[in-house]
Structure 1
Amino acid sequence: MATDRPRKVHILSLLRKRFLALSLTTALAAAPAFGRPAQAEAPQPRQLALPESVPAPRDVPFGGTIRLDVDATDLMRHIFTVRETVPVPDALAATGGDLTLLYPMWLPGNHSPTGTLDQFGGLTVQAGGAPVEWTRDTVTVSAFHLKVPKGAHALDVRFQLLSPVSPEEGRVVMTPDMLNVQWNALALYPAGYFTRRITVQADLRLPAGWQYGTALRAHGATGGAVVAFDAVPFNTLVDSPLFAGRYFRRIDLAPGAAAPVTLNLVADKPAELAATDAQIRAHQALVTQAGLLYGAHHYDHYDFLLALTNELGRIGLEHHRSSENSGPRGYFTDWDKTFAARDLLAHEYTHSWNGKYRRPADLWAPDFNTPQRGSGLWVYEGQTQYWGYVLAARSGLMTAPQVVEALAGVAATYDMRQGRTWRPLQDTTNDPVIARRSPLSWRSWQRSEDYYSEGQLVWLDADTLIRKLSGDTRSLDDFARHFFGGDDGSFGTSTYGFDDVVHALNDIQPYDWAAFLHQRLDRTSTHAPLDGFARAGYRLVYTDRPNDYLTSYAAIRHVTDFSFSLGFMLGKGGSVANVEWGSPAWRAGMTRDEQLVAVNGEAYDPDVLKDAVVAAQARDAAPLTVLMRAGDRYLTLSIPYHAGLRYPHLERVAGTPDMLAAILTPRH
């Protein structure tokens, strides 16, 4: 027994140690890691069902006519007051049930969901005088779900558009002297229908004595202040904005034409309306030259809306039978200085053919809440940008030398854009949805909606190539007539895809156009597509002589441009509006939204900086020293730049045909 007890103690000791080790292992496995809180079994998120989907649009008629009454007289508070009577379809009235009203979000021409839902307020709904509750969709927040009571045949809908009172809140659409009515911001429409199958009759109350311009036509007025417009499909209403103002002028741009074209002018001051006969003839020539280019028109009448203003927000937006445009004060009265703004009307007018009549298939939608895609914007906007410049020259809105200077600026800007080394042009067609035209910190690296002006260079390249391959017997004019013309008088919409563009180009001039376009659209590169200039008999050069177009543009925008030398652009007071990626200023550390305070110890003004850049060319000159303010901090930057002032120009290549002259010459 004595000899057996130590053995039992040893066995018990081993068992105890194993038990303690097992307990410790179990405890460690269950314990949290060092420094982490204890955690129970991970909770499972509650699975919430999505709200009922918004009814998909169907190509069926919506019964009855919506009545829309808009009061646009609250100028001081910038408020539009809306009353809308929405008929209830008979089947729904018989049983009661669900009806969804939508606020338009995806607007043609904006290429993004930019409806002003943030300015929408005060919504109430009644049926027969009794309140009808509404519920906003928590996913599609522009949708309002209503429970329509049985026997209700109409809904009385009321709300306000609380439009911006200053540019900090958004685009100003109402001032003491003018306003811009955009019907998409002032109406709800029933979900479940193509908008072309919904009929609306709109009345508009304007300030007393004001005149207006719009593609809509009126059938009467009450008391002189309320305009009663003809009933139209909802998509036509949205596509027919209105400018109105205290100071207004209407000019006939197509005297005697079967399809009238009118220039509707509104201005901050009456003196700004003083267009001369020669200036009017240039605008009339735009209509003539567009007709000669396309060989057809796709409207029964067309209304240019042009605001000459420093107060209404800037705009250039196309519609099928009209366009919303803003120009600088001095558009007519400082004609020789404001020419950089005069391709706008030509651009937006072209959209009646390119964008409205012919439209990329993924930019067409049955209503204003179905997402759109912009894969074809290099045609929709790129070729429109090209024809905007060409028609401005052919009509006399700009001179041919002014357009050549403008093209030089485009070529230089996109040739130095560093973002092209990582982002192909085609990808920029997504930018309206990605950035929604908000300011970018490094636009030259991020790229923006480059399909506009780089697309313009692609189409110049195509035009000159067609001319060369055909021995100057065909050109992009022939493509424009073939692709955007035809079907004279129709203003429906005809959609297309990439292959349709390639096929139409081959109809004009056989070539591997698919490869040509893919090379320029889908691949990155170190330089812009400048072959069109070489083929046209020009080369891009830089000199210390200012570019006339860029000078006009800078004066209109109130900027000072050193983009092609130091690599930045300045706004009022020396605020940095843009810094080119990789430029001398960028390498020195300059950043957008800083303020340039001093140059080489002297207080900044544009001439001081220009003189300093010139002086820095001297042998053994020191780098420029600039004092920058960034919020509450001051920074001193050294910019080792000694190449002087540089501005882009197109220089003729001796002994070559001048294709640009041929392109910009008026047609007869």
Structure 2
Amino acid sequence: MTAHHPHRRIKTLATRSATALALALTLAFPAHADVPAPVEPTYPGTIVLNVDATNLSQQIFQMRLRIPVKPGPLTLLYPQWLPANHGPNGPITQLAGLKFTANGKPVEWTRDPVQVFAFHVNVPEGATVLEAEYQYLSPLDSSQGRITMTDEILGVQWVSTTLYPAGYVARGITVQPNLKLPKGWDYATALETENRQGDEVHFKPHDLETLMDSPLFAGHYYKQFDLDPGAKVPVRLNVFADTPESLEAKPEQIEAHRKLVQQAYKLFNSHHYKHYDFLFALSDEFGGIGREHHQSSENGVKPGYFTEWAKGESGRDLLPHEYTHSWDGKFRRPAGQNVPNFNTPLQNELLWVYEGQTQYWGSVLGARSTLVSMAGARDALAATAARYDSIAGRSWRAMQDTVNDPILNARRPLGWSNWQRSEDYYSEGQLIWLDVDTLIREKSGDKKSLDDFARAFYSINDGSFLPAFYTFEDVVAALNKVLPYDWASFLRARVDGHGPGAPLDGLARAGWKLVYTDTPTDYIKGADDRNKAADLSYSVGFTVTAEGNVRNLIWDGPGFRAGLAANTSIVAVNNRAFKPEVLKKAIKEAKDSKEPIQLLVKKGNVLRTIALDYHGGLRYPRLERIPGTKDRLEGIYSALK
């Protein structure tokens, strides 16, 4: 038998520890970025940015930048953390052709090896101005990113076209932007115009933060609608389209948008902009977008917004959502969004307030303005409640953690979103704020509501558009002023919890419950039509496109258990060529049969038949009144007097 020697074991462990320490000392520690921290309050002088947006055929923006400088080291930054994107996804791969000159001679640059959005130059002696020339190669195809330039419409996102000096606070950097437009085009932006000479527009100098937050739309076909006639603070709907026909709005359609403005004012009891411009593109080619800004929106949808009004109700909460952001997200901002420049990381822990409450108010204002009918608002809420009630990923991942998704995933498509979860702080946040609203209404005998919170929280500093930041504790304190309650525990239980199921107490307090029937609501019909797909999530557990491509599988649902994945397409159903209606018919027939639905599916080059053992019939979510309860949704969705 081998004897154990404690002293030998201690010596061996010590030797191993010394070896590990020696190895660690030979490893290179992460390189230090040689980028000045943003500590200086103001940059001396005014930067001049010239953007040529006339190359429509190749979709290239050409920039020339003039920066007042003094000799010595200078670091210039390309924006990385974009406003409203919530993540570090500035399109730096599309920055090209970067060249610097001073006194007519080239100045070399080097990229920082750690902060790759930073460029180092050494300004030569005697130079007072550094000139930069470069291009933004806007996407030619949607696989490269969102299309921002077509033959009829373009969008200038200044964050994509601008370099700025490191070491300074963004609000202390002054930029004077100029833009050359295609011949005869009109434009709209929240920026103040100095003058226009032909197709060259000269804007007034703005601080860098305002510039970055003030995109511009331009186009050949354009119409502007005044949404607050006679007001000292203008609100305008600027519409650009592929064709002049798409611009033809009926008076009652514009009136609903005017009601949106008035209902927002009654809700928030304030404004926080010099003027507000909806930038709205109706196009099959220009990329769709829903992005908030303090004094404008930035939105792109399909051409039928006005001309196919009856079909589009399911998408008409977009503008109410973006308009709400002027108050929630741009004026009142979470403390973690208080950063000095666009290359400082954002902290997203309160996005369920920033985006979740905006999602709630967007729905409410959509109904109060009549952009969305009260029935349509209820059907949209039913679809949201059903979707989040079926999120299997809740079992392992709290909604609070999804605020990190814009950083972790950069909004790339997910293969198993029902299990992975994806930015659920938007619409699950909406359900939480419905829960808050109805609890306030119930406990106050319907004398108070979340409207009271909105009036108090967002109306401070009326007329100012300088941001006011808040913490979780500030939100709790403001709720307690409306109705004393343990709001901290209430909110934390919902954002940190794991269910089971979505937070649907607010529905019950509102006098409604989530049910499923075999007939889709008009909201679901409209969404399916817009998406060119059939959402069968609550029956067979997936969505299928018109071409048969399987999408959005419910984890451990019938389709999942049958072996389907999001890279599978359905070729035939029960030996009949696939069409969405053929699959729906088979689901109906299987309800009265013990035989599984036979699907011929294709994955890559392999065809196989799978048995979909489901017999529950078609199931679509809708809301149903709870007998004997008060209908609080009616009060929530009714216009304020």
Write the letter of the residue equivalent to 2:86: H
Q: Deviations over 1:281-307 (max 9, x none)?
A: 000100000000000000010000111
Aligned-pair CA distance for 1:47: 3.8
Name 2:580's counterpart in structure 1. 606
Name 1:478's counterpart in structure 2. 452
Name 1:626's counterpart in structure 2. 599
Q: Does the CA-based 8 Å contact 1:418-1:526 persist in structure 2?
A: no
Name 1:652's counterpart in structure 2. 625
Q: 1:115 aligns with which of 82, 86, 90?
A: 90
Aligned-pair CA distance for 1:42: 8.5
Does residue 422 of structure 1 match 2:403? no
Q: Does the CA-based 8 Å contact 2:546-2:579 persist in structure 1?
A: no
Write the letter of the residue equivalent to 1:663: I
Write the letter of the residue equivalent to 2:147: V
Does residue 331 of structure 1 match 2:305? yes
SS in 1 for 2:581: helix
Q: 1:643 aligns with which of 616, 629, 636?
A: 616
SS in 2 for 1:667: coil
Q: Deviations over 1:593-640 (max 9, x none)?
A: 2111111111101111111111111243x1011111111111211111
Name 1:25's counterpart in structure 2. none
Write the letter of the residue equivalent to 1:81: Q
Q: 1:531 aligns with which of 502, 505, 527?
A: 505
Q: How many residues align?
A: 620
Aligned-pair CA distance for 1:46: 6.7
Does residue 106 of structure 1 match 2:106? no
Distance 2:380 2:23 in 1: 63
Distance 1:169 1:475 in 2: 45
Distance 2:412 2:78 in 1: 22
Name 1:260's counterpart in structure 2. 234
Does residue 165 of structure 1 match 2:140? yes
Does residue 234 of structure 1 match 2:208? yes
- Following superposition, which runs of at least 4 residues in structure 1 exceed 6 angstroms of deviation? 41-44
Name 2:103's counterpart in structure 1. 128
Q: Deviations over 1:517-538 (max 9, x none)?
A: 1110112111100000111100
Does residue 666 of structure 1 match 2:632? no
Q: Does the CA-based 8 Å contact 1:212-1:244 persist in structure 2?
A: yes
Q: Does the CA-based 8 Å contact 1:51-1:137 persist in structure 2?
A: no
Q: 1:192 aligns with which of 159, 163, 167?
A: 167
Q: 2:474 aligns with which of 496, 500, 503?
A: 500
Aligned-pair CA distance for 1:51: 4.8
Name 2:4's counterpart in structure 1. none
Residues 51 and 520 of structure 1, relative CA distance in 2, 3 Å threshold: closer
Matches within 5 A, 1:371-386: 371-386=345-360
Q: TM-score, normalised by structure 1?
A: 0.91
Residues 603 and 619 of structure 1, relative CA distance in 2, 3 Å threshold: closer
Q: 2:188 aligns with which of 199, 202, 213?
A: 213
Q: 1:589 aligns with which of 563, 568, 572?
A: 563
Q: Deviations over 1:50-71 (max 9, x none)?
A: 2552111124211111010001
Q: Does the CA-based 8 Å contact 2:33-2:114 persist in structure 1?
A: no
Matches within 5 A, 1:59-78: 59-78=40-59
Distance 1:580 1:360 in 2: 33
Aligned-pair CA distance for 1:329: 1.6
Does residue 315 of structure 1 match 2:296? no
Q: 2:68 aligns with which of 59, 71, 87?
A: 87
Name 1:140's counterpart in structure 2. 115
% same residue: 52
Q: Does the CA-based 8 Å contact 2:77-2:164 persist in structure 1?
A: yes
Q: Does the CA-based 8 Å contact 1:328-1:556 persist in structure 2?
A: no
Distance 1:139 1:79 in 2: 28
Distance 2:149 2:258 in 1: 29
Write the letter of the residue equivalent to 1:139: V
Distance 2:612 2:357 in 1: 39
Write the letter of the residue equivalent to 2:58: R
Aligned-pair CA distance for 1:393: 0.2
Q: Does the CA-based 8 Å contact 2:546-2:580 persist in structure 1?
A: no
Write the letter of the residue equivalent to 1:528: A
Aligned-pair CA distance for 1:560: 1.4
Name 1:11's counterpart in structure 2. none
Does residue 301 of structure 1 match 2:275? yes
Q: Deviations over 1:495-533 (max 9, x none)?
A: 111111110000000001011011101121111000001
Matches within 5 A, 1:144-159: 144-159=119-134
Residues 347 and 52 of structure 1, relative CA distance in 2, 3 Å threshold: closer
Aligned-pair CA distance for 1:49: 7.4
Write the letter of the residue equivalent to 1:241: P
Distance 1:425 1:376 in 2: 11
Residues 359 and 226 of structure 1, relative CA distance in 2, 3 Å threshold: same
Does residue 616 of structure 1 match 2:590? yes
Name 1:515's counterpart in structure 2. 489
Name 1:461's counterpart in structure 2. 435
Matches within 5 A, 1:534-613: 534-613=508-587
Distance 1:600 1:63 in 2: 73
- Between 574-583 and 193-202, report the one with greater CA deviation: 574-583
Distance 2:269 2:194 in 1: 32
Q: Does the CA-based 8 Å contact 2:593-2:615 persist in structure 1?
A: no
Distance 2:568 2:152 in 1: 35
List runs of 5+ in structure 2 lacking aligned partners. Answer: 1-21
Structural RMSD (CA): 1.3
Q: 2:336 aligns with which of 358, 362, 368?
A: 362
SS in 2 for 1:402: helix
Write the letter of the residue equivalent to 2:37: A
Distance 1:305 1:63 in 2: 33
Q: 1:281 aligns with which of 255, 258, 263?
A: 255
Aligned-pair CA distance for 1:653: 1.1
List runs of 5+ in structure 1 lacking aligned partners. Answer: 1-40
Q: TM-score, normalised by structure 2?
A: 0.95
SS in 2 for 1:392: helix
Name 2:10's counterpart in structure 1. none
Q: Deviations over 1:318-373 (max 9, x none)?
A: 00000101122211111110111110100010000000110001122110000001
SS in 2 for 1:573: coil
Distance 1:556 1:179 in 2: 23
Aligned-pair CA distance for 1:557: 1.9
Distance 2:554 2:127 in 1: 61
Does residue 225 of structure 1 match 2:199? yes
Distance 2:557 2:386 in 1: 14
SS in 1 for 2:608: strand
Distance 1:290 1:470 in 2: 23
Q: 2:244 aligns with which of 270, 295, 304?
A: 270
Name 1:388's counterpart in structure 2. 362
Aligned-pair CA distance for 1:151: 1.5
Distance 1:559 1:155 in 2: 53
Q: Deviations over 1:155-182 (max 9, x none)?
A: 1100000111010111110111101100
Write the letter of the residue equivalent to 2:65: E
Q: Deviations over 1:21-69 (max 9, x none)?
A: xxxxxxxxxxxxxxxxxxxx98985747725521111242111110100
Residues 44 and 495 of structure 1, relative CA distance in 2, 3 Å threshold: closer
Distance 2:348 2:33 in 1: 28
